[in-house]
Structure 1
Amino acid sequence: MKNIDNIKLKINSTIHDALTIIDNGKLKLAVIVDKNEKLIGIITDGDIRRGLLNGLNLNSSIETIIFKTPTVAKITDTKEDILTLALSKKLHQIPILDNDDRIIGIQEIDELIKPKIKKNKVILMVGGLGTRLRPLTEKTPKPMLKVGNKPILQTIVEKFAEYGYKNIIMCVNYKSHIIQDYFKDGKEFGVNIEYILEKQRMGTAGALSLLKDKPSEPFFVMNGDLLTNINFEHLDDYHTLNGSIGTMCVREYDFQVPYGVVNIEDSKVVSIEEKPIHKFFVSAGIYMLSPNILEYIPKNKFYDMPTLFEKLINENKNIVSFPLREYWLDIGRIEEYRKANEEYDEIFEGIK
């Protein structure tokens, strides 16, 4: 809550007094209290302007322009209660009262909406060579190619931070200095970043064997060449709810055969399907893993995520899929890179 000591007025104050408080304060309002600190009402810039239009002047009393029925919340109300109340009335601020109706502060709704910092680590695989994107990647690692006037990797970092996941580990290899020089320790981007240098190619799972400390919470693993607006908090909740050792994000992929497909049985044509569409689920390169999964990854050895999941499936471990319905694009080829730049502003306009 915001302190209100410097925005309090008594009912006999003038409009000039109220204007001074509103213009100098960050909250852009004044609260009017009685001698017992009980809330009488509030005044905003709009209230003052309406008063001046009705013939009042700067020396007039504020008594006739006080808004005496503001929406308020009690100190005992939960965060969810306050949010529900504010959103239902489209409010940005709510006065908070104690059990004796004395005002004790102003709650700014934006502060409640901001996500809490989560403990879960985010491990980003950003050491690939990006050979299919040459010549663009001859001097720049693929995650640092710009889409929407910023590196792909920056958008990924910002999206995780948006949901409160700020403990990030980057597994780097190819031209790693470019990534490290840009992100440094992450403070400029509101996150904490550590680096793991792969001295040899380790694969998307093998690099996890290089972690200095075993995570204590389920953690994310994501390829550094993806753009998506997935709700990472939903993935976290889904993984926990299902009690999974490993959750794989999957994306539906359609493939249309460009010809009429002839179905044959014992040399006899039994049917013809004209340009049928086959649908598959493919790995989206985003995972949520429980800490004990690290026991299944060999040390200092190339090991890919599909190999890890196959091993877990063979051992009847609880593996679940998380179907992505949100925007997702794997930037592996030139045409996908162009598409990403064409679509970025529309999809990620909230990230500046």
Structure 2
Amino acid sequence: MGRGKLKTAVILAGGLGTRLRPLTLKKPKALLPLQGKPIVEHIFYWLKLYKINHVVLAVCNLKEQIIDYYKDGSKFGLKIDYLKENVPMGTAGCVKLGKNYLKETFLCSHADEVKDININEWFEFHKKNKALVSIALTKIDNPSAYGVAKMDGDKIIEFVEKPKKGTEPSNLINSGTYIIEPEVLNMIPDGHAMWEYDVFPRIAKLGRLYGFVFPGQWFDIGNMQKYKRCEKLWKGIK
């Protein structure tokens, strides 16, 4: 099966990056280098492998730098549109601003994470289950520092935030990457809204929130320790 099912991806690049200061005082997270190029370019490469050539970048903090660097995306072989937040709208609130770009099933990814996921397999899983949202889940040895998925088969019942060690419902955590149906945009509250608190619980109650467990690498660069670890260990897209 050839690569290429989804057409559009939203990349959430508006975060302040407070845990990466002083690096992010004058440079947004989306432009921080990872193995010689900005982290978002690793995400671009992954998307292009699966023929996702339209990217919608949600930007807020130091947004002019991001827009000036990536421009219309042509030098990266992409078409880039921008969702410009004047104040942070949250991980879901900013995506709602892009309704005009998101008429079909789309992918959503945080800008400060890299991952190696077979998007075609994930998309097939999403459609087979008639999911409204499917979350890419990764296995980790010590999930107690994260939101941990409580599962019923492939369905996500809920996320248990930072459970005590030994009480985790699984070793599966949210990788910060989602496949989303466009009707979900109508379920996002106006104003500031977060996927994790304002949207996903509603979809879980409908029985249409699914978890796709992937075996590939996953790193986030949320703080200096994680950033250094990613720089050292990230092997790129297979």
Question: Normalising by structure 1, what TM-score?
Answer: 0.58
Query: Which runs of structure 2 are paired with 1:116-155 in the superposition (5 Å)?
Result: 120-155=7-42
Q: Distance in 2 between matches of 1:202 and 1:249?
A: 23
- Residue 207 of structure 1: CA displacement? 0.9
* Residue of structure 1 equivalent to 2:134: 247
Residues 313-347 of structure 1 deviation map (CA, whole Å, 9 limit, x = unaligned)? 23x24111011211000110111111111123xx1
Q: Distance in 1 between matches of 2:50 and 2:99?
A: 25
- Decide whether the 8 Å contact of 1:245 with 1:317 is kept in 2: no
Q: Distance in 1 between matches of 2:119 and 2:130?
A: 17
Corresponding letter in the other structure for 1:186: G
SS at match of 1:185: coil
Given candidates 184, 209, 226, the residue that maps to 1:293 is 184
Q: Distance in 1 between matches of 2:219 and 2:9?
A: 19
- Residue 178 of structure 1: CA displacement? 1.3
* Residue of structure 2 equivalent to 1:179: 66
Q: Distance in 1 between matches of 2:86 and 2:64?
A: 13
- Decide whether the 8 Å contact of 1:186 with 1:192 is kept in 2: yes
Residues 31-65 of structure 1 deviation map (CA, whole Å, 9 limit, x = unaligned)? xxxxxxxxxxxxxxxxxxxxxxxxxxxxxxxxxxx
Corresponding letter in the other structure for 1:348: G
SS at match of 2:171: strand
Q: Distance in 2 between matches of 1:214 and 1:122?
A: 10
Corresponding letter in the other structure for 2:236: F
- Decide whether the 8 Å contact of 2:7 with 2:51 is kept in 1: no
Q: Distance in 2 between matches of 1:177 and 1:144?
A: 12
- Decide whether the 8 Å contact of 1:248 with 1:288 is kept in 2: yes
* Residue of structure 2 equivalent to 1:311: 202
**Structure 1 alignment gaps of length 5 or more:** 1-79, 81-112, 258-274
- Decide whether the 8 Å contact of 2:143 with 2:172 is kept in 1: no
- Residue 231 of structure 1: CA displacement? 1.5
* Residue of structure 2 equivalent to 1:333: 223
- Decide whether the 8 Å contact of 1:253 with 1:281 is kept in 2: yes
- Residue 120 of structure 1: CA displacement? 2.4
- Decide whether the 8 Å contact of 1:256 with 1:276 is kept in 2: no
SS at match of 1:311: helix
Q: Distance in 2 between matches of 1:194 and 1:206?
A: 17
- Residue 255 of structure 1: CA displacement? 2.7
Task: Give the percent of matched residue pairs that are identical in Structure 1 and Structure 2.
Answer: 29
Query: Which runs of structure 2 are paired with 1:79-94 in the superposition (5 Å)?
Result: none
- Decide whether the 8 Å contact of 1:203 with 1:302 is kept in 2: yes
Q: Distance in 2 between matches of 1:349 and 1:208?
A: 26
Given candidates 93, 103, 115, the residue that maps to 1:216 is 103
- Decide whether the 8 Å contact of 2:134 with 2:211 is kept in 1: yes
Q: Distance in 2 between matches of 1:332 and 1:229?
A: 18
Residues 205-238 of structure 1 deviation map (CA, whole Å, 9 limit, x = unaligned)? 1112211515232100110000111112222221
SS at match of 1:236: helix
Would the alpha carbon gap of residues 349 and 255 (structure 1) be closer, same or farther in structure 2, given more than 3 Å must change? closer
- Decide whether the 8 Å contact of 2:115 with 2:237 is kept in 1: no
Q: Distance in 2 between matches of 1:186 and 1:286?
A: 21
**Relative contact order (C-alpha < 8 Å, sep 6+): which is higher?**
2
- Decide whether the 8 Å contact of 1:225 with 1:331 is kept in 2: yes
Q: Distance in 2 between matches of 1:349 and 1:219?
A: 20
- Decide whether the 8 Å contact of 1:254 with 1:277 is kept in 2: no
Corresponding letter in the other structure for 1:333: N
**Structure 2 alignment gaps of length 5 or more:** 145-164
SS at match of 2:183: helix
- Decide whether the 8 Å contact of 1:225 with 1:330 is kept in 2: yes
* Residue of structure 2 equivalent to 1:264: none
Corresponding letter in the other structure for 2:230: A
Residues 128-155 of structure 1 deviation map (CA, whole Å, 9 limit, x = unaligned)? 0000011111111112110110000111
SS at match of 1:213: helix
- Decide whether the 8 Å contact of 2:6 with 2:107 is kept in 1: no
- Residue 119 of structure 1: CA displacement? 5.4
Would the alpha carbon gap of residues 276 and 298 (structure 1) be closer, same or farther in structure 2, given more than 3 Å must change? closer
- Decide whether the 8 Å contact of 1:256 with 1:277 is kept in 2: no
